[in-house]
Amino acid sequence: MAVATAAAVLAALGGALWLGRELRQAAECGPEPGVGGLGELIVRELDLASLRSVRSFCQEMLQEEPRLDVLINNAGIFQCPYMKTEDGFEMQFGVNHLGHFLLTNLLLGLLKSSAPSRIVVVSSKLYKYGDINFDDLNSEQSYNKSFCYSRSKLANILFTRELARRLEGTNVTVNVLHPGIVRTNLGRHIHIPLLVRPLFNLVSWAFFKTPVEGAQTSIYLASSPEVEGVSGRYFGDCKEEELLPKAVDESVARKLWDISEVMVGLLK
């Protein structure tokens, strides 16, 4: 599998600095230190809460990058208070599903021309508690932050399965995963009482995954020869897992795709 020449878009600058350091250390420890290089790390601005930003990012990618070997849809927002994206979508559905939906569709041509290539979508086990309510996708009639997060993660899975169906025969694969509970700032909107925080911190350090551990299934799906040609599947801890019936409902997946195309402006 070719090494991706496309830029890595990172949610945190700290991640970019860490990857940059790893690249430099690997180059310095190679057979000819400082010679040949292992590629280039480029950080580009991408705001998934703005369809304008997504389109701008994709336009830049298509103009500057000759190929794209792997696209990992990893960014997300978790149980935030009710708020809307720049385009008026409920924030969790807008960022976790619609932003990635548009991003992937705009980059599909480059992924196909770079085949064999892979798309990796990060979901969550919490999809089990979500449902797709086509009458209130924007949560304007009612809003429950936990339910809306779960709905956005169910949408990730339905999107993956419908995309896999549409990509059959292209040599572009797409799979979805849950990373487990990871120690990041994703839960910054969750209120933890002051007196409980020491216990919570202790539990998180004891039982939550580190970011490196949480990334392993994404890395596995992006690079392992074991999943070459595998598409439309759901993974956890680098192993395929079964999905609930609502996550494999083809009619719901197709309807969600059609509505999402209209919402992001791919169809008028």
pLDDT digit string (tens) for 111-153? 999 999 999 999 999 999 999 999 999 999 999 999 999 999 9
Number of other residues whose CB lies within 10 A of the CB of residue 8: 17
**Residue 215 confidence (pLDDT) above 60:** yes
Q: What is the pLDDT of residue 78?
A: 80
pLDDT above 90: percentage of residues in the chain? 66
102 close to 108: Cβ distance less than 8 angstroms: no
Which residues make beta-bridge pairs with 177? Answer: 122, 235
The reply to whether 82 belongs to the active site is no
Q: What is the pLDDT of residue 60?
A: 95
Burial class (CB in 10 A: 0-12, 13-18, 19+), 154: buried
Encode pLDDT of 48-97 as tens digits: 999 999 999 999 999 999 999 999 999 888 888 999 999 999 999 999 99
Q: At 248, give phi and psi (nearest 5°).
A: -120, 15
Report helix, strand or coil for 162. Answer: helix
Residue 89 identity? F
* Domains within the chain, CATH numbers bracketed: 44-264 (3.40.50.720)
**Residue 192 confidence (pLDDT) above 80:** no
Q: What is the pLDDT of residue 252?
A: 98
Distance CA 69, CA 117 (A): 5
Going by pLDDT thresholds of 50, 70 and 90, the confidence category of residue 267 is confident
Q: What is the pLDDT of residue 1?
A: 33
Q: What is the pLDDT of residue 239?
A: 97
Residue in 129, 143, 149, 234 annotated catalytic: 149
Q: What is the mean pLDDT of residues 142-170?
A: 97
Number of other residues whose CB lies within 10 A of the CB of residue 101: 25
50 close to 85: Cβ distance less than 8 angstroms: yes
pTM for the predicted model, two decimal places = 0.84
Which residues make beta-bridge pairs with 72? Answer: 120
Going by pLDDT thresholds of 50, 70 and 90, the confidence category of residue 205 is low
Distance CA 179, CA 181 (A): 7
The count of C-alpha atoms lying within 13 angstroms of the C-alpha of 93, restricted to the half-sphere facing its C-beta, is: 29
Upstream peptide bond of 198 is cis (omega within 30 degrees of 0): no
Distance CA 129, CA 43 (A): 35
Q: What is the pLDDT of residue 68?
A: 95
Q: What is the pLDDT of residue 21?
A: 64
* Neighbouring residues of 155: CB distance < 8 A, sequence distance ≥ 6: 93, 96, 97, 130, 132, 256
Q: At 119, give phi and psi (nearest 5°).
A: -120, 135
Q: What is the DSSP code (8-state) at residue 140?
A: S
**Residue 3 confidence (pLDDT) above 50:** no
Q: How many residues does the chain have?
A: 268
When comparing pLDDT for 187 and 21, which is higher? 21
31 close to 66: Cβ distance less than 8 angstroms: no
Going by pLDDT thresholds of 50, 70 and 90, the confidence category of residue 43 is confident
Q: What is the pLDDT of residue 122?
A: 96
State the average pLDDT for the chain.
85
Number of other residues whose CB lies within 10 A of the CB of residue 175: 24
**Residue 209 confidence (pLDDT) above 50:** yes
Going by pLDDT thresholds of 50, 70 and 90, the confidence category of residue 105 is very high
